[in-house]
Structure 1
Amino acid sequence: MSLTFYWYPKCSTCRNAKKLLEEHDIKFEEVHIVEQNPSREVLADLYQKSGLELKKFFNTSGQKYRELGLKDKMKTSTDDELLDILATDGMLVKRPLLTDGTKVTVGFNEQMYKDHWLA
């Protein structure tokens, strides 16, 4: 299983997720989500495979989210419009994102990682 781990190194949640994966000898490719923001196509693919609502992919606690007034835009924008916005800046993306190409998790919860990636 080849994993891709989209993260922001300054994010403590991302560091905790990475530490858990490393403690269990899980191999993964790291992608710095700000330096290598996922493309719209990649984000659309992750969204489709996740089974989650698109709003779960947004870092709603981030400064950029507030600056752009995305709380209100979330209510009226289409998925296509939201994916376009999400692809503009890695700081808008909730992290970490972890995928094996077929399943996707967004954010970090230790039990979720144990259930999805360590089982």
Structure 2
Amino acid sequence: MTITIYHNPACGTSRNVLALIRHAGLEPTVVEYLKTPPSKEKLRQLVAAMGITVRELLREKGTPYAELGLDAPSFSDDQLLDFIGQHPILMNRPVVETPLGTKLCRPSEEVLELLPVDKLPPFTKEDGELIIDSGARRA
């Protein structure tokens, strides 16, 4: 199974998602999107696959969102994608792509829906929170 994670190693949620994927015995392709930003077309594909708006992909905290005036509703999706291309930190993370779907995995346990396993053993996040995978959503 091909799994790709658009990852920021400085982000705890992103690190937890990567660890959860590996906890499932899978090794994803890791794209450090701050070093290797996805193309505008790839961003379009990811947004479409997730069924979200470009605006929902934007991250405000710790980014130049406010300085760029991105809270103004007048920006088109095309313009917002250009901003993400110029400032990759604006892309919310982590985004995970698998044959089972594509998802912005916040909180980190959202990735469980994309993994091809019935039920993972318990997993402890960096902050000590325990994730118990019921497997119920994979009917």
Structures share a fold, TM > 0.5? Answer: yes
TM-score, scaled to structure 2: 0.75
Identity, % of aligned positions = 26
Structure 2 alignment gaps of length 5 or more: 118-139
Q: Is the 8 A contact 2:13 2:94 kept in 1?
A: yes
- Matched with 1:91 is 89
- Matched with 1:115 is 113
How many residues align? The count is 117
- Matched with 1:103 is 101
- Matched with 2:63 is 63
Instruction: Let me know the Cα RMSD of the aligned residues.
Output: 1.7
Q: Is the 8 A contact 2:13 2:108 kept in 1?
A: no
Taking the aligned partners of 2:105 and 2:3, their CA distance within structure 1 comes to 15
TM-score, scaled to structure 1: 0.87
Q: Which one-letter code corresponds to 1:80 in the other structure?
A: D
Q: After the TM superposition, which parts of structure 1 deviate over 3 Å for at least 4 consecutive aligned residues?
A: none
- Matched with 2:32 is 32
Structure 1 residues 71, 101: CA separation in 2 closer, same or farther (over 3 Å shift)? farther
Structure 1 alignment gaps of length 5 or more: none
Structure with larger RCO (C-alpha < 8 A, sep 6+):
1
Deviation at 1:102, TM superposition (A): 7.0
- Matched with 1:13 is 13
